[in-house]
Every structure is written in structure tokens, then in C-alpha cells.
A and B are shown apart, each in its own frame.
Chain A
Amino acid sequence: MTLSGNWFLALAAVLFSIGAVGLLIRRNVLVMFMCVELMLNAVNLTFVTFSKMLDDINGQSLVFFVLVVAAAEVVVGLGIIVSIFRRRPDATADDLNMLKG
């Protein structure tokens, strides 16, 4: 490898943090899901980089499972959103505060 894996890992860490901060500061549920996808992508990048650094294919297999989980999560999450938004067309996550925190 001509380029040290550390750069990839640092990039993944930054990406993960952006996703995490985004999830905490955004109020739109759909965008919050996208932030989760950002975090999962950061994890994927980390797995692939470690796989390369350790010369071990198993890291790439793990990405495969993350992809399946991400797909299943998106289906369920969007299903829940559809069931909420059908009732109230202009809901954001902020409107989900009927239950007191």
C-alpha cells in the first residue's frame, strides 16, 4: 500500500463524528436516518481499511453484514415514518415530543 491506512481511518473517524453530531442536531427524522447511514459508512470504511492493513479478508465480510443491516433498518425506519406522516403531513422529529422527556 502506498498510502498509509491511518489516513483512511482518520477520515472514517471524522465521517463518523459528522454523522453522530448531525444526528444529534438535526430535527428532521429523515435526515437523522441519513446521518445514521453516514455513521455506518464510516464503520464500513474502517472495516475495509483494517482488512487491508491486517491482510485479512474477514474485515470485508463484516461490511457485507453491515450493508444488510443498513438496508433492513432503512426499510423499517421509513415504514415507521410513513405510518406517522400519513397521519400528520408536516411532522419533524421535533413534533414527536408529545411524550415528555
Chain B
Amino acid sequence: MMAALFPLLSVLHPVLAVPTIDRLVFAVCAVIVLSGALGVVLSSNPVYAALSLVLTLFGVAVLFVEEDAQFLAAVQVVVYAGAIVVLFLFVIMLLGVDRQESMRSERLPAQRPLALLLGLAALGELLALSRLTHWSTGPRGASGAPATGGGGNTAALARSIFTTYLLPFELTSLLLIIAVLAAVVLARRPGQHPIEPPALVETDDSNLPMPGPDPDEEIDGVRNVDAESIGFGGGRGPQ
């Protein structure tokens, strides 16, 4: 992994050359962010990938502070590192998929170099289009809502969200409802579906009897034992 970072460091040389504190912070964070990202992509164990993701998230949070987005930096740490990554780790541990993934086996042999090429081409094109220095062309302060209005970052953010982006803010509530409902629908046990009484089932197919546990269900035998106490245990099985 260190070898992969050397070209990166040479790219960052102009930044590193001037030791103002901002540049130092940026350089360190850039290294953290990118090594974390490479860690996610390259580590064969999902647990390591999740922990590398934390590294990237923290790096980005520090960059947020560097750019006067203190509230978002806090949210980044609390929501991303605190909730999302924990959720990832929880699922990894719960499902017991914390074993090595073979990085060799490829269904499509050409896929990896092709993806790499595509990614590099997209990146190169983006950097070329921006000519590295012409990213932002929009008007400064067009909306009349400066990033550091009265009352600090959080108050300015709140004003923006509850005026300009009131409708999107309300829309996020829909997303949360769907997320809750999705968890209920997807994570409940297949056998516990509310099944209609036989008289009401409209089926003409005799080889698939309806009531009772469904025959095409592929849960192994442990499910009746731990269904109440564990809830998720059905899929583990003996390994």
C-alpha cells in the first residue's frame, strides 16, 4: 500500500513544499482519505474495509473543518462513522461474512483492467476539463446566503435548510419512512408472513400446497429453534 502512495506524494509535492498549517492539514488529510479509500477497495476482509472507511470519513470530516463547515464535520463523524459504519460492522459480524474474499477469482477476466481503465479515463477527463484550476465558475455569493452569516455556521445552515431547501428537507422524511418500512419488510422471517386462510387463497396449482411453511423456502433446519430468541440466526447454519 505504501508503494501506491508514493506517486500520490509526488503529486502533492507543491502542497507539501509550503509548510503553512492549512497546507499541512490538507496534505495529511489527503493521505489519510486516500489511503482509507484504497484500504476499502483493496483489503480482502470486509472488516478491514469497514475500518478503512472510518479512516476516510475522519479525513473528510477534518477537511470539512478546514473549509468552515463545522456542523457538517460533526454530523459526518456522528452519522457516518458513528452510525453507518457501525451498521456495516454489525451486519458483517451478524452474518458471519468476515472471512477472506479471494481477490483472484474473476468471472469476467477483462472486468478488472477494464474498470480500472474506465475509472482512470473518467478521472483524467475530469481533471483535464477542469484544467486543474478552473473548477468553479459560478458567481460568488449568488444566493445572498454567505457561508458564514450571522450566528455562525450552524445558524446559517439552518436558515438555508428551512427556507431555500424546505421542500427537500420535508422530502427526507419520506426517505426515512421508507427505510423503516424496508427494514420491517426485508428483515422479517419468510415463514412468518401473514398467510391467508386456505379458503381465500386463489391457487389452482396442486403441486405447491399453500398453507403452512412454504416448501420452496431455503432456510436450514435451525430456524424453528432460534426464531424467537435470536431472530436472525436462521442463515448461519453450521459452517
Interface membership of B199, Cβ < 8 A: no
| Number of cross-chain contacts by CB at 8 Å | 273
State whether A67 touches B107 (Cβ < 8 A): no
B51 to chain A, nearest CB (A): 10
* Contact flag A75-B147 (CB < 8 Å), given A34-B40, A64-B72: no
**B138 in contact with A65 (CB, 8 Å):** no
User: Are B34 and A14 neighbours in the complex by a CB distance under 8 Å?
Assistant: yes
User: Across the interface, do B87 and A74 meet the contact criterion of CB distance under 8 Å?
Assistant: yes
Complex Cα distance, B132 from A9, in Å, reads 9
**Which of A14, A59, A80, A86 touches B234 (beta carbons < 8 Å)?**
A86
Give the docked Cα–Cα distance between A7 and B30 (Å).
Answer: 9
Are B218 and A88 touching (Cβ within 8 A)? Answer: yes
Q: How far is the CB of B236 from chain A (nearest CB, A)?
A: 6
Give the contacting residue for A51; candidates B69, B119, B133; CB below 8 A: B69
A67 to B57, alpha carbons, bound, how many Å?
12
Task: Determine if A57 and B95 form an interchain contact, defined as CB atoms under 8 angstroms apart.
Answer: no
Interface of B is mostly: helix
A75, A85, A88, A90, most chain B CB atoms within 10 A: A75
**Complex contact A80–B56 (CB within 8 A):** no
Contacts of B92 in A (CB 8 A): 30
Q: How far is the CA of A52 from the CA of B119 in the complex (A)?
A: 27
Q: Are A35 and B60 in contact (CB under 8 A)?
A: no
With A57-B157, A82-B187: A76-B101 Cβ-Cβ less than 8 Å: no
Indicate with 1 or 0, residue by residue over A63-101, a CB within 8 angstroms of chain B CB atoms.
Answer: 111011111101110111111011111101010010000
B96 within 8 A of A: yes
Given A11-B33, A37-B84, A55-B141, decide whether A25 and B115 contact each other with a Cβ distance below 8 A.
yes
Nearest-neighbor residue (CB-CB) of A49 within chain B: B67
Q: Do A68 and B175 have beta carbons less than 8 Å apart?
A: yes
A54 to chain B, nearest CB (A): 5
**B145 and A57 within 8 A (CB):** yes
Residues of A within 8 A of B149 (CB): 57
List 28 A-B residue pairs with CB atoms under 8 Å apart, sorted by A's residue number. A5-B135, A7-B15, A11-B30, A18-B38, A21-B41, A27-B107, A31-B49, A31-B101, A34-B40, A34-B50, A41-B80, A48-B67, A49-B67, A51-B67, A51-B69, A53-B140, A56-B141, A61-B160, A63-B69, A64-B161, A65-B168, A67-B79, A67-B80, A75-B183, A80-B186, A81-B95, A86-B235, A97-B107
